[in-house]
Amino acid sequence: MAQLALDKDFLLEFPSLEKQVRERVSEVFAKFEHATHAGLHLEKITGARDDRMRTIRIDQFWRGVLLAPPNGDTYTLLKVLPHDAAYDWAKRRKASVNAVTGAIEIRDIAALDASIPHMKRMAESVPERLFEHVKDADLRRLGIDEHTLPLVRVLTASFQLEAARGLLPPVQWDVLYGLAAGLSPEEVWDELGASIVGDVDPEDLDAAVRRSSDRVLLVEGPDELMAALAHPFDLWRIYLHPVQRAVVDASYKGSARISGGPGTGKTVVALHRAHRLARAGGRVLLTTFTSTLAESLQASLTLLAETTGAGEAPDVLSRVRVEHVDRLAHRVFREAHGLPELVTAQRERRLWEEVTDQLGLDLSATFLAEEWRQVVLARGARTAAEYLSAKRTGRGRGLGASAKAQVWQAVTAFQELLAERGLWTYETVVEEGARLLSERDDKPFDHVVVDEAQDLYPGQWRLLRAAAAEGPDDMFVAGDTHQRIYGPQVSFSEVGINVRGRSSKLRINYRTTAQILRWSLGLMRGQAVDDMDGGLDSVAGCRSEMRGAEPVLKGFTSWDTELRHLTETVRSWTDAEVLPEEIGVAARSNKTVEQVVAALEAAGLPARALAKGAHEGKGVAVGTMHRMKGLEFRCLAVVGTSGEQLPAPRSVTPEDEDPGAHARDLLRERSLLFVACTRAREQLTVSWHHSPSPFIDAVLSD
Ligand SMILES: Nc1ncnc2c1ncn2[C@@H]1O[C@H](COP(=O)(O)OP(=O)(O)OP(=O)(O)O)[C@@H](O)[C@H]1O
């Protein structure tokens, strides 16, 4: 039976076809599987560079171009074009199988061949060639084939390589890009590693198509076809990069983690992995830090389940529980004890004061509360001895043994007060949840998948660790420590999670243009950022293949003029037919957010303030930098990035009080700006009044 496969380029262009054509495409291909070869009416193309190209009638004017296997049954739909354009496109193309990855490659061979003589002439007057230092054998070993090699040998500058991008299959171009950037063949080989296969048969197109899940979707039936065509923009559901795919499909002996810069698809990988583990019959917890992010994970997971293995979707979805980590804690708590009576911050403060009065201690309520959270709870200290030996990293002044004894006395009294009065804090609910789960032999989950891992607290990690038994694929953790904006620094080992030897990194950014990414990465340059595993993390090598405008950076003399400029910028975007919903404005404080909404509305531009759990809505989305997490916008303005507002003075511990906490607070403020800027897909403006934030000043003077 003929099987249909959809090439990524076809799906990318599908939404821009007229509605009637889209409907006809769906009709024609919904019946494809059941059509016999004779009934398919695939037309051969005279004068084609590749005699396996065929066209199929969509309607009177439109034709689809398919790659037909000479001796297999998988037909790949490459393009839908008006009649003449379809024939012309198909004539010029050649399909081949990459000798290293074994994947299918389609290229405009006519354009490639035509460009070589011209490039050759240009190269004659230049003494050095771009790839002079790389031997043919190394190039072949990396999958550069005989069609590409003549071009490679006449390239003299990297801008020519950039210009040749459209002429080459993406993997071959990536290899050359890596070599031109100074990577050794071995390093390039490593980057390709995920997709290397041996014994490739260049004639076996069916096998090649099956290996090409990063660019070809093998359609399992009409439901899957309809689901793919219904959401053609969400390519992440279908085509994973080989490195992403390898992590999704891997079987790990224990816990594993994925890291990578912003927009590299960590959430996408976490979603696919949760989905795959559930399809294999596991009970999965998919979790993250906030309720809003959990809601967005649920929506994406549903979409994914309805696309892949659509028939099993309800079953698969019933095996994945998506909830943010505090909600899990409260649920486990409620099941055992009913609703907790939570203390407010004020009541907690009074309790600490009661304790210090009772014991006649000279320690402030604020100090004790912080010591309890950041040392006792964070380190999981249950006894005086554990507290005495606990690390107090970041806790400003050192404490002598007698002061520590006093703290422990106060902590014990405070915890007794909570217990006597049946009171709980958010942290003790999480702790109790972890205790309840750790005592259960029948764990509620087989697998725990965590997104935005950098923001979780130690107590939350202990809860998650206790939610699944230790074993193969027990925990999968996705995060980027450069984007830590809530949680403290945690190391996996102190919360009982071992990911050593099971860490992977994603490097290709799918969200942002290279220009925006480069500028945003500059904000983090030189910062020592931990990797949650005893070392330092780096976003070096994170790159984007999309090109666009440079970010616009602008200072103003007053907030009023900055606001006026913002409304003009937003208007210029809407005039250029960007929908208001595709525009975001980020600011450091709620007050600034309110002022921006008012200014946009006064200028007749629809706007809304982002609120908890309300990401969807009409109008320009205006939110604090914290609220920007998990979102992305075609156009984004980051406003009020002035020296007085960023870092926000109230969020930074004074240096003389605690130099460690001061440095960490500053890094968190810097990360906030980094998170905000990396939400932009196509255009970014960053503005301030008076003087720029020191984070920006440093990049401006680079
Ligand atoms: N294989 C893919 N194909 C197409 N689009 C992809 C792919 N992987 C990721 N994307 C897209 O890239 C964008 C960023 O992906 P995602 O949110 O998973 O990245 P992230 O690493 O979690 O980002 P961040 O850390 O900045 O929150 C999304 O729009 C996503 O749909």
* CATH label of the domain that carries residue 216: 3.30.2310.20
Per residue in 406-442, is it b (16+ CB within 10 Å) or e — as a string? bbbebbbbbeeebeeeebbbebbbbbbbbebbeeeee
State the closest ligand 1 atom to the C-alpha of 244, by its place in the atom list counted from 1.
1
Ligand 1 pocket, 213 CB below 6 A? Answer: no
Question: What type of residue is 602?
Answer: A
Residue 338 lies in a domain: no
Kind plus residue range of the DSSP H or E element containing 205: helix 205-210
Q: Which two tokens stand for residue 162?
A: 């950039």
Residues 568 and 650 in one domain: yes
Taking CA atoms only, the protein residue closest to ligand 1 atom 7 is: 236
Ligand 1 pocket, 235 CB below 6 A? Answer: yes
Query: How far does residue 655's CA lie from ligand 1's centre (Å)?
Result: 37
Query: How far does residue 236's CA lie from ligand 1's centre (Å)?
Result: 7
Q: What is the pLDDT of residue 461?
A: 97
- The reply to whether omega before 647 is within 30° of 0 (cis) is yes
Identify the weakest region by mean pLDDT among 69-78, 184-193, 426-435, 450-459.
Answer: 184-193
Residues 71 and 186 in one domain: no
Tell me if residue 239 falls in helix, strand or coil.
Answer: coil
Instruction: Please check the confidence at residue 115 and state whether its pLDDT lies above 70.
Output: yes
Q: How confident is the model at residue 407 (pLDDT cuts 50, 70, 90)?
A: very high
Instruction: Please check the confidence at residue 417 and state whether its pLDDT lies above 90.
Output: yes
Percent of the chain clearing pLDDT 70 (strictly above): 97
ipTM of the predicted structure? Answer: 0.99
Query: How far does residue 619's CA lie from ligand 1's centre (Å)?
Result: 23
Residues 298 and 378 in one domain: no
> At what angle are helices 109-124 and 83-92 packed, to 10 degrees?
50
Ligand 1 pocket, 266 CB below 6 A? Answer: yes
CA–CA separation, 332 and 318 (whole Å): 19
Residues 362 and 396 in one domain: yes
Q: What is the pLDDT of residue 534?
A: 85
Residues 497 and 609 in one domain: no
Residue 78 lies in a domain: yes
Query: Which residues, other chains included, contact 592 with Cβ-Cβ below 8 Å and sequence gap of 6+?
Result: 639, 640, 645
Residues 694 and 578 in one domain: yes
- Which CATH number fits the domain that encloses residue 660? 3.40.50.300
Structural domain that includes position 573? 549-700
> What pTM does this model have?
0.90
Q: What is the pLDDT of residue 227?
A: 86
Residues 136 and 264 in one domain: no
Is 260 annotated as belonging to a binding site? yes
DSSP string, 387-415: HHHS--TT-SS---HHHHHHHHHHHHHHH
Instruction: Please check the confidence at residue 56 and state whether its pLDDT lies above 90.
Output: yes
Q: How confident is the model at residue 105 (pLDDT cuts 50, 70, 90)?
A: very high
Ligand 1 pocket, 261 CB below 6 A? Answer: no
Residue 242 · residue 110 · CB < 8 Å: no
Residues 302 and 351 in one domain: no
How much is the average pLDDT of 315-338?
97
Q: What is the pLDDT of residue 108?
A: 96
Backbone CA torsion sign across 639, 645, 647, 653:
negative
Residue 554 lies in a domain: yes
Ligand 1 pocket, 304 CB below 6 A? Answer: no
Residue 516 lies in a domain: no
Residue 373 lies in a domain: yes
Q: Which residues pair with 259 in a beta bridge?
A: 505
Taking CA atoms only, the protein residue closest to ligand 1 atom 14 is: 263
Query: How far does residue 265's CA lie from ligand 1's centre (Å)?
Result: 3
Residue 519 lies in a domain: no
pLDDT, one tens digit per residue, over 202-242 is 999 999 999 998 899 998 888 888 888 988 888 999 999 88
Q: What is the pLDDT of residue 563?
A: 97
Residues 586 and 675 in one domain: yes
Residue of 195, 217, 236 to test ligand 1 pocket, by largest number of atoms within 8 Å of CB: 236
Residue 293 · residue 675 · CB < 8 Å: no
Q: How confident is the model at residue 183 (pLDDT cuts 50, 70, 90)?
A: confident
Q: What is the pLDDT of residue 615?
A: 60
CA–CA separation, 78 and 53 (whole Å): 10
How much is the average pLDDT of 261-275?
97
Give the largest CA-CA distance in the chain: 96
Ligand 1 pocket, 239 CB below 6 A? Answer: yes
Query: How far does residue 699's CA lie from ligand 1's centre (Å)?
Result: 26
The residue among 485, 508, 531 that closes a domain is 508
Tell me if residue 309 falls in helix, strand or coil.
Answer: coil
Identify the weakest region by mean pLDDT among 226-240, 343-357, 448-462, 560-574.
Answer: 226-240
How much is the average pLDDT of 415-433?
96
Burial of residue 673 (CB within 10 Å: 0-12, 13-18, 19+) is: buried
Can you list the alpha helix ranges (DSSP code H) found in 62-157? Answer: 83-92, 109-124, 136-141, 149-152
Instruction: Please check the confidence at residue 193 and state whether its pLDDT lies above 70.
Output: no
How much is the average pLDDT of 122-146?
92
Residue of 231, 268, 521 to test ligand 1 pocket, by largest number of atoms within 8 Å of CB: 268
CA–CA separation, 532 and 376 (whole Å): 20
Is 79 annotated as belonging to a binding site? no
Beta strands per DSSP E along 312-446: 320-322, 341-342, 423-424
Query: How far does residue 532's CA lie from ligand 1's centre (Å)?
Result: 22
Residues 149 and 170 in one domain: yes
Place of tokens 């905000």: 676
Ligand 1 pocket, 480 CB below 6 A? Answer: yes
Percent of the chain clearing pLDDT 90 (strictly above): 75
State the closest ligand 1 atom to the C-alpha of 264, by its place in the atom list counted from 1.
21
Residues 559 and 668 in one domain: yes
Q: Which two tokens stand for residue 226?
A: 């309809």
State the total domains in the chain: 5
Residue 515 lies in a domain: no
Q: Which residues pair with 3 in a beta bridge?
A: 74
pLDDT, one tens digit per residue, over 376-388 is 998 889 899 999 8
Taking CA atoms only, the protein residue closest to ligand 1 atom 2 is: 236
Phi, then psi, of 207 in degrees rounded to 5: -65, -40
Residue 235 lies in a domain: no
Place of tokens 């809003």: 292
Is 340 annotated as belonging to a binding site? no
Residues 219 and 356 in one domain: no
Phi, then psi, of 14 in degrees rounded to 5: -55, -45
Residue 585 · residue 636 · CB < 8 Å: yes
Q: What is the pLDDT of residue 602?
A: 96
